[in-house]
Structure 1
Amino acid sequence: MLKAIRVFNPLVAAILRSRAHRLVSGALLLLTVTGRRSGRRFTFPVMYARDGADILVFVGMHAQKQWWRNLRGGADVVARVRGDEQIWHAELLEGDREALAGPLAAYLRRFPKAEGTVGDDVVMVRLSCGQ
């Protein structure tokens, strides 16, 4: 699986940066997160759903990933959404399914098949522009 991601992510990122972004940018955005301690920038594609003016990202298999931990307490990130790159404020949403029922429902309306990947503990990111 990890090998596939190492091939898939750069390929999708290249498409999202190109004029051909329309092929995938309705469901995927390119997110750049800065490491709190290292200061390194990490860029990768993630699936997203709109929630009004905000964007919701569900962090699937969050226990196996590290990037979202850099967003605790809030952080500015760069997101390329539908070909436009801008700074967004990221708020980390952590809790059980009940505590995150609203944002999770908004995400699952867009991606109903993701229901099967949601466990008891949920990690999501809310991106807000202009804050």
Structure 2
Amino acid sequence: MNRFQRMAAMVNGAVVPVLRMPGIRTVVGGSITLISYTGRKSGNRFELPVGYRRSGDTVTIGVAMPDKKGWWRNFTGAGAPISLTLDGTTRTGHAVSRRDDQGAVSVRVDLDPAP
């Protein structure tokens, strides 16, 4: 784990519990959510905060500095299942990551129908 990854893990460890607090959404706004997924190689469950944009049942997560991060690689190719906390409710969906010609990475999540 490099220095950036250690720092990100520390920050994420502090932010995740805050985002779970009731009412915190009004403070941080609607552009940060928690995602959870299972790692392809490790089989471990991970949870981390991400910035996102939502349009209907599609959520787009931009990945800043993608070459220094590995989580989005779990969604390459055909993608994988993901869970997100949106408006205080856990939603599931299917996520696929892609890198554009300029090197920018985004993860598109197609949400499953709401229960």
- TM-score normalized by structure 1? 0.73
Partner of 2:13: 10
Say which structure, 1 or 2, has more relative contact order (CA 8 Å, 6+ apart).
1
Structure 1 gap ranges (5+): 97-119
**Kept after mapping to 2: 8 A contact 1:16/1:83:** no
Structure 2 gap ranges (5+): none
Larger helix fraction of residues: 1
1:83 pairs with 2:82: no
Q: What RMSD in Å do the two structures reach over aligned CA positions?
A: 1.9
Superposed CA deviations along residues 75-102 of structure 1, whole A, max 9, x for unmatched, are: 1011112221121110212222xxxxxx
Name the count of aligned residue pairs: 108
2-side partners of 1:24 and 1:13: how far apart?
12
Aligned residues with identical type, % of pairs: 33
- TM-score normalized by structure 2? 0.82
- Stretches (4+) displaced over 4 A: none
